Amino acid sequence: MLPPETFRITPDQAMREMQDFGARLTRGLQTLGDLGEIDVGATAKDVVYREGKMVLYRFRPLARELRRVPVMITYALVNRPYMIDLQEDRSLVRGMLKGGLDVYLIDWGYPDGGDRFLSLDDYINGYMDRCVDVIRRRHALDKINLLGICQGGTFSLCYAALHPEKVRNLITTVTPVDFHTPDNLLSRWVRHLDVDLLVDTLGNIPGELLNWTYLSLKPFRLTGQKYLDMVDQLESPAKAKSFVRMEKWIFDSPDQAGEAFRQFTKDFYQRNALIKGEVSIGGHPVDLTRVAMPVLNIYAADDHLVPPAASRVLGDYVGTDDYTALEFPGGHIGLYVSGKSQATIPPAICRWLSER
């Protein structure tokens, strides 16, 4: 046990610490004032297909030789997909491009009142399927590779079960599969939500409401401690810009189409129907045993939004003999933006695909 004097702070020490913190905060505010415009999305890309607010992008290659089979990334309906291409040294996309992959991305856009009745059938059997067909035609291929992120991973999993003839390899990242693991705090909250009353009252679900729900899962860390720690980062303009860029992404939260939110909440969070084989998309049952293509499942050991156990079970339900699990030692977002992830995740994806 440490001696009591270890924790003793004299008034003079407290005053010096407060003065030092105030001085650093003053310098940090000056740094923030000098940052200028905060740009996001580091890699050049082109629109190859557009439908309503949804846009399919193709990133411009960064390698001389491209793999023959492209990868289509499906992001969640929550937040914006530029998180995976936040800045040059923190970009899953750039890592994949440098590894020779041909990378496409679905951007869902910002739903408004006109999208109120979009369902999971519209998203998965509609938008996703048409994007897959666009890419298949462009490359004269029967099958392409899919990579899903969080809820987009669940969408990709459902798509692969419904349309296995169009999927060569499936990669899921921080993807919830079992929504009722004991450590899933978000699921415990959502299970008691009157989602019919919420959707019937609000129509689309405000992104700001969802965002503060996610922040409330770790309130002291995400709404308090982080901003105290920020003062240290503001000593460096580069670190300050990275911090503000991340903040911009966190609070860039699109609303969610009401009907899709209703179905996803009821079927996945409240009924945990995916692993029971009881999810139906557009009248077609989602049978995970039909996911017979190779699967790479990447999850994060310290994920508070999608606990590792919620993802790890995927191997018990899919129908493939070629299943690989990869645990990343970090959190939900760190898997995409941390320095550690840049050196591990894109190379692992490229290597796994090259072997298939």
- Active-site residues, by number, are 150
Secondary structure percentages of the chain, helix, strand, coil, to 5 = 50, 15, 35
Dihedral sign computed on CA atoms, order 338, 246, 223, 231: positive
Asked whether 289 and 316 are in contact (CB, 8 A), the reply is no
* 103-107 and 54-59 beta bridge pairing: antiparallel
Alpha carbons within 13 A on the beta-carbon side of 312: 10
Strand order of the β-sheet with 54-59 is: 45-51, 54-59, 103-107, 71-74, 144-149, 167-173, 295-300, 323-328
Asked whether 47 and 55 are in contact (CB, 8 A), the reply is yes
For residue 174, give the DSSP letter.
S
Asked whether 129 and 256 are in contact (CB, 8 A), the reply is no
Instruction: Please count the other Cβ atoms lying within 10 Å of the Cβ belonging to residue 327.
Output: 13
Selection from 337, 343, 352 nearest residue 79 by Cα: 337
DSSP string covering 309-341 = HHHHTHHHHS--S-EEEEEESS-TTHHHHSHHH
Selection from 85, 9, 12, 30 nearest residue 237 by Cα: 30
Alpha helices (H) along the chain? 11-33, 92-98, 120-121, 129-139, 151-162, 185-190, 195-202, 207-215, 219-220, 226-233, 237-250, 258-263, 308-312, 314-317, 334-337, 339-354
